[in-house]
Structure 1
Amino acid sequence: MPAQADEIALSKQDLREVTAFAAACAETVLAVFETDRPDDPRPRQAIVAAWEFARGGERGKALRDTAWAALKAAQSADTEAAREAARAAMSAAGAAYLHPLAKATQVKHILGAGGHAARAAELAAAHHPDTGAEHVQQAVQRATPAVVQVLQRFPAAPGGGGRVGELIRMLDAGLRPPAPAE
């Protein structure tokens, strides 16, 4: 049965590539959360589960549960930087659930961990916006050609989402080739 016009072909390997990218982004700020909540393993467990899927594991209930647990950890964190770091971990585990729908909102599954990680770094550096931009640039360099290829199948990142949304759009723009001049 052919895919509908609003569906995007995604292989399990595509999902693994996206999840590996998201896990690598989230790892960069895990210490921000762990400094705030050293006895809470949930964000680390989400990143570990994301890496397990990326390296050939199954996409199942355990992976989804770690994403939800990291989100709950974000709610219990004492600082906004720690909350964003936990959201990055949640997004890393959630990346495995990228839907094959041609909707801009799906880009958050690909780039959400990078956006939340950049915001966590920014907040940890006393709201210094250059820190967020530097984190975005590092994420651009971290992305493999396979991640870029998957991203380009989707529309550009949607508007909104506050500062995290801005960082996601910066990351999106950095990974797509420039539009041809008219």
Structure 2
Amino acid sequence: MNAADENLVIELSMAELREVTRYAVACAEPVLAIFERDCPDDSRPRAVLDEARRFAAGGRRTKALRVTALDAHRAARAAGEMEHAAAENAARAAGNAGAAAYLHPLAKATQGGHILMSAAHAARALEIDAGTDRNVGAGYVEKATGLASSIVVSVLTRYPPAPGGRGRVGELWRELDASLRRLATGSCPVQRERGIDDSH
């Protein structure tokens, strides 16, 4: 993709942004318990998930959503400084769930992170928590594939594939990206035609 391609504007509705955010929240929620176990006095990741749920349910994209997303990433840095690597990734999953509401309609590969980095960090949190068992991370990628509605898949495939780099989290992002793109081409089992709300 050249620079001109990256300036292409992608069609993206507010309803689609809400569905992407709903998906990111659903991917981040299972690892919140890891963060709160290791950092019980820090409510920042929970706060951003609450704000993201409000937006996904039809609320406005408020300043509070952006502020709490940044706060969750600060919580991640604090957890990392305390050598709680699983908690750090859990907090980043939450922060990225909040950032999903700010997916930009530009055809840049990095924008796919707004859709999938919540799931990638959640997968990494779980595999670290399981003694760095990569099978656990791969299993969560499979689960996250199943959570994605047809709307999420449609939005993702308007963007270029995930870029290289970013270590193990980047690998998990690319695995999930590829899995969802296979759904779009029909080379995976048929995607359920429903939203994330019905998955719980």
| Normalised TM-score (structure 2) | 0.86
The alpha carbon displacement at 1:175 in A equals 0.4
Q: Is the 8 A contact 2:28 2:97 kept in 1?
A: yes
Residues in 1 aligned to 2:44 and 2:162: alpha-carbon distance in whole angstroms = 28
Residues 86-165 of structure 1 aligned to structure 2 (within 5 Å): 86-165=91-170
User: In structure 1, what is the equivalent of residue 77 of structure 2?
Assistant: 75
Residues in 1 aligned to 2:104 and 2:132: alpha-carbon distance in whole angstroms = 33
Specify which of 8, 11, 14 is matched with residue 9 of structure 1: 11
SS at match of 2:9: coil
The alpha carbon displacement at 1:170 in A equals 0.4
Cα deviation code 1:3-37 (max 9, x no counterpart) = x9611011000100000000000001001100001
Tell me the amino acid that sits aligned with residue 121 of structure 1.
L
SS at match of 1:100: coil
Tell me the amino acid that sits aligned with residue 115 of structure 2.
I
The alpha carbon displacement at 1:76 in A equals 1.2
Residues in 2 aligned to 1:135 and 1:29: alpha-carbon distance in whole angstroms = 11
| Structure 2: tracts of 5 or more residues without a match | 1-5, 187-200
Moved over 2 A (4+): 177-180
Tell me the amino acid that sits aligned with residue 61 of structure 1.
K
SS at match of 1:110: helix
User: In structure 1, what is the equivalent of residue 63 of structure 2?
Assistant: 61
| Normalised TM-score (structure 1) | 0.94
Residues in 2 aligned to 1:113 and 1:91: alpha-carbon distance in whole angstroms = 5
Tell me the amino acid that sits aligned with residue 39 of structure 1.
D
Tell me the amino acid that sits aligned with residue 140 of structure 1.
T
The alpha carbon displacement at 1:177 in A equals 2.4
User: In structure 1, what is the equivalent of residue 25 of structure 2?
Assistant: 23
**Equivalences, count:** 178
Tell me the amino acid that sits aligned with residue 155 of structure 1.
P
Q: Is the 8 A contact 2:145 2:179 kept in 1?
A: yes
Q: CA RMSD in A?
A: 1.6
Q: Is the 8 A contact 2:7 2:106 kept in 1?
A: no
Residues in 2 aligned to 1:72 and 1:22: alpha-carbon distance in whole angstroms = 19
The alpha carbon displacement at 1:107 in A equals 0.4
SS at match of 2:182: coil
Identity among equivalent positions (%) equals 55
Tell me the amino acid that sits aligned with residue 50 of structure 1.
A
